[in-house]
């Protein structure tokens, strides 16, 4: 990799920490990181000043406000404002500072609720978004378009990757604001420890989801740093999907919970199906390597190893 130093924005979160691990394992670039207390990415002047001083050759934007259905519904203004302003500040400051390669990370929630399956990049903006995460989705769509606009007008080498549902070490395990997989891991663990007879799972269990280990995503990021320079954003997916019922059964098996699964149909399912077509990326030579159940088991081990430290925080967030 010819880009060094590399600034990883959001290095303490699920995605950013995985990218840092992947970069460290390669050992061919100096990594620049800043905590939230050191650099407020919503402060335009601060971000411009940092870029001018640090002069990274590449930037990977993994910083974002993220969460599950409840969090998106409860904090719509925070989701759209924080993500939009962070993207605008970091992309613009990176271009002004002469950054040679910029990687923007979005989400598969950018696609319409009833997009054809599997979802291809050209399905963007062909239908209405899923209402429960539209605020985050609109911000991420704007991020894609900002990257494309800066490429067209200024020749800025910005590429955008849209990963599917992610999980892994460093995830957010807060029961109200996390995504489905870490929430299930925590819920089943606590039920096991309490010897509870059952665990409630949101929705009907029929919605289908695709899950990608965050270390596989990190490898995709580095692969695209080396091998992708196009305006078209590109999907990053595992190519397989499971129902939420199958996922819950898998998590229960990994945790060792033997009680009953009760599906709370009063809770929303969200988008009925979300499977990405990642053929553009696989044609470049990347493919995922961590099977879902193996990845869940590793994530559960991480959760157990960090349980005490997480209890000292306000919630179980990983960022």
Please give the residue range of the domain that contains residue 157. Answer: 6-311
In a domain, 318, yes or no: no
**Nearest partner of 209 among 108, 317, 64, judged by Cα:** 108
pLDDT above 60 for 312: no
Dihedral sign of CA atoms 51, 56, 58, 61 in order = negative
**Nearest partner of 57 among 22, 1, 6, judged by Cα:** 6
List the CATH number of the domain containing 145. 3.40.50.720
In a domain, 200, yes or no: yes
Query: Within 13 Å and on the Cβ side, how many CA atoms surround 116?
Result: 7
Write out pLDDT tens, residues 116-168: 999 999 999 999 999 988 999 999 999 999 999 999 999 999 999 999 999 99
In a domain, 15, yes or no: yes
Distance of CA 41 to the CA centre of its chain: 18
Dihedral sign of CA atoms 114, 119, 125, 131 in order = positive
Say how many Å lie between the first and final Cα of the chain, rounded.
Answer: 27
In a domain, 263, yes or no: yes
Between 5 and 68, residue with greater pLDDT: 5
179 is in an annotated binding site: yes
11 is in an annotated binding site: yes
Which three-class secondary structure state does DSSP give residue 286? coil
- Under DSSP, the state recorded for 122 is G
143 is in an annotated binding site: no
Strand partners, 167: 213
Token match 């979802």: residue?
Answer: 119
In a domain, 317, yes or no: no
Query: So what's the pLDDT on residue 1?
Result: 57
In a domain, 316, yes or no: no
Query: So what's the pLDDT on residue 273?
Result: 87
Which distant-in-sequence residues (6+ apart) come within 8 Å of 311 by Cβ?
A: none
In a domain, 1, yes or no: no
pLDDT above 50 for 199: yes
Q: How confident is the model at residue 268 (pLDDT cuts 50, 70, 90)?
A: confident
Tell me the DSSP string of 131-155.
GGGHHHHHHHHHHHHHHHHHHHHH-
- 134, 137, 201, 205, 269 from 265: Cα distances, Å: 22, 25, 9, 9, 8
Token match 């010897």: residue?
Answer: 195
Distance of CA 61 to the CA centre of its chain: 11
Query: So what's the pLDDT on residue 176?
Result: 73
In a domain, 258, yes or no: yes
Q: 105: part of which helix (H) or strand (E)?
A: strand 101-105
Q: What is the CA radius of gyration of the chain?
A: 19
Mean pLDDT of 157-183: 91
Write out pLDDT tens, residues 270-296: 778 889 999 999 999 999 999 999 999
Cis peptide before 35 (omega within 30 of 0): no
164 is in an annotated binding site: yes
Query: Which residues belong to the active site?
Result: 136
Domain count, the chain: 1
166 is in an annotated binding site: yes
How is the beta sheet containing 6-9 ordered, strand by strand? 31-32, 6-9, 58-61, 101-105, 158-163, 234-236
């Amino acid at each position: 990799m010819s880009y060094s130093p590399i600034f990883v924005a959001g290095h303490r979160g699920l995605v950013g920490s995985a990218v840092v691990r992947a970069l460290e394992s390669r050992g061919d670039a100096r990594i620049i990181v800043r905590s939230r207390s050191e650099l407020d990415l919503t402060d335009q002047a601060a971000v411009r000043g940092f870029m001018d001083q640090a002069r990274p050759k590449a930037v990977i934007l993994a910083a974002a406000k993220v969460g599950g259905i409840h969090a998106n519904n409860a904090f719509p203004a925070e989701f759209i404002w924080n993500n939009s302003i962070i993207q605008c500040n970091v992309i613009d400051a990176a271009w002004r500072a002469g950054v040679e390669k910029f990687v923007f990370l979005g989400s598969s929630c950018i696609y319409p609720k009833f997009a054809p399956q599997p979802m291809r990049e050209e399905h963007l903006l062909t239908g209405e978004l899923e209402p429960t995460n539209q605020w985050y989705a609109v911000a991420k769509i704007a991020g894609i378009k900002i990257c494309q606009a800066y490429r067209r007008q200024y020749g800025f080498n910005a590429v955008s990757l849209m990963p599917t549902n992610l999980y892994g070490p460093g995830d957010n395990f807060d029961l109200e604001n996390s995504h489905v997989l870490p929430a299930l891991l925590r819920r089943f663990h606590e039920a096991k420890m309490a010897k509870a007879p059952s665990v409630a799972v949101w929705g009907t269990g029929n919605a289908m989801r695709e899950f990608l280990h965050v270390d596989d995503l990190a490898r995709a990021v580095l692969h695209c740093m080396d091998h992708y320079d196009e305006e078209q954003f590109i999907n990053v997916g595992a190519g397989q999907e499971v129902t939420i019922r199958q996922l819950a059964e898998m998590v229960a098996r990994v945790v060792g919970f033997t009680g009953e699964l009760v599906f709370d149909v009063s809770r929303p399912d969200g988008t009925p199906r979300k499977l990405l077509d990642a053929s553009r990326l696989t044609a470049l030579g990347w493919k995922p390597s961590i099977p879902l159940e193996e990845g869940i088991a590793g994530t559960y081990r991480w959760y157990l190893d960090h349980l005490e430290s997480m209890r000292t925080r306000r919630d179980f967030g990983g960022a």
